[in-house]
Amino acid sequence: MTPRRTSASATRRLAPAAAGVSRLRRLLGPLGSHLVLIFFAFTALAPLALVAINTLKTHREVVRSPLAVPGEPHWDNFELAWRYGQFSRGFVNSALLSGTAVVTVLVCATLAGYVLARRRVRHWRAVTIYFMLAMTVPIQLFLFPLYYFFARVLGLLGSLYGVGVVLAALNMPLAVFLMRAFFLAVPEQLEEAARIDGANTVRVLWSVLIPPVRPGLITVAVIVGLQAWNEFLITRTFLGQESITATLGLLSMNGTFTDNMSVMMAGTLLMIVPPLLFFVLVQRYFIEGLISGALKG
Amino acid sequence: MRRWSFQYYLLLAPAVLLSVAVVLAPGLMTAYVAFTDWNGVSLSMNWIGTVNFEKIFADRVFWQALGNNIRWTLLFLTVPVGIGLLTAMLLLKRGRTRTVYQMIYLGPYVLAPVTNAILWLNIILNPVSGLLRHVRHLFPRDSPLAPLRSPLGSPDTALYFVAMVDIWHYWGFLTVIYLAALRQTPQELVEAATVEGAGVLQLFRFIYLPTILPTVLLMFVIITIFSFLTFEYVYIMTGGGPAHGSEMLSTYAYTLAFNALQYGKAAATGLVMSFFGLAASMFYVWMSRREVSA
A34 with A129, same domain: the answer is no
Give the domain CATH number at A215.
1.10.3720.10
Q: Are A102 and A94 in contact (CB under 8 A)?
A: no
Chain A, chain B: beta-carbon pairs less than 8 Å apart: 308
What's the CATH number of domain B49-285, 2.60.40.60, 1.10.357.10, 1.10.490.130, 1.10.3720.10? Answer: 1.10.3720.10
A225 with A84, same domain: the answer is yes
Residues 6+ apart with CB under 8 A from A161: A96, A100
What is chain A's pLDDT, residue by residue, as a tens digit (297 residues)?
334 444 444 444 444 445 555 666 666 677 888 999 999 999 999 999 999 999 998 888 888 888 888 888 889 889 999 999 899 999 999 999 999 999 999 999 999 999 999 888 888 889 998 998 888 787 878 888 888 888 888 888 888 999 999 999 999 999 999 999 999 988 888 888 888 888 788 888 888 888 899 999 999 999 999 999 999 999 998 987 778 999 999 999 987 887 888 999 999 999 999 999 999 999 999 999 999 888 764
A61 with A121, same domain: the answer is no
Q: How far is A168 from chain B (nearest CA, A)?
A: 8
- Kindly report which listed range (A109-123, B13-27, B269-283) carries the lowest average pLDDT score: B269-283
Determine whether the interchain pair B14/A280 forms a contact, defined as Cβ–Cβ distance below 8 Å.
no
CA torsion B280→B282→B286→B288, rounded to 10°?
70
Q: How many structural domains are present in chain A? A: 2
* Domain closes at, from A47, A76, A105: A76
- DSSP secondary structure letters along B132-183: HHHTGGGS-TTSTTSSSS-GGGSTTTHHHHHHHHHHHHHHHHHHHHHHHHHT
Residue A16 has what DSSP assignment?
A: G
Please state whether B49 falls in left (phi above 0), alpha (psi between -120 and 50) or beta: left
Output the pLDDT for position B147: 55
A90 with A66, same domain: the answer is no
Positive/negative CA dihedral, B46, B50, B55, B61: positive
A55 with A201, same domain: the answer is no
* Domain closes at, from A76, A93, A108: A76
Residues 6+ apart with CB under 8 A from B260: none
Determine whether the interchain pair A169/B21 forms a contact, defined as Cβ–Cβ distance below 8 Å.
yes
A192 with A67, same domain: the answer is no
Output the pLDDT for position B144: 60
A64 with A85, same domain: the answer is no
Q: Average pLDDT, stretch B202-221?
A: 88
Longest dimension (CA), chain B: 78
Q: Which of A91, A141, A176 to mutate to test the interface with B (most CBs of B within 10 A)?
A: A141
Question: Which residues in chain B are closer than 8 Å to A43, comparing Cβ atoms?
Answer: 168
A290 with A188, same domain: the answer is yes
Domain membership of residue A11 as a residue range: 3-76
A99 with A215, same domain: the answer is yes
* Domain closes at, from A76, A101, A117: A76
Residues 6+ apart with CB under 8 A from B232: A232, A233, B113, B114, B117
Q: How far is B127 from chain A (nearest CA, A)?
A: 10
ipTM: 0.87
A94 with A69, same domain: the answer is no
Q: How far is A184 from chain B (nearest CA, A)?
A: 12
A155 with A141, same domain: the answer is yes
Check CB contact of A255 with chain B, cutoff 8 Å: no
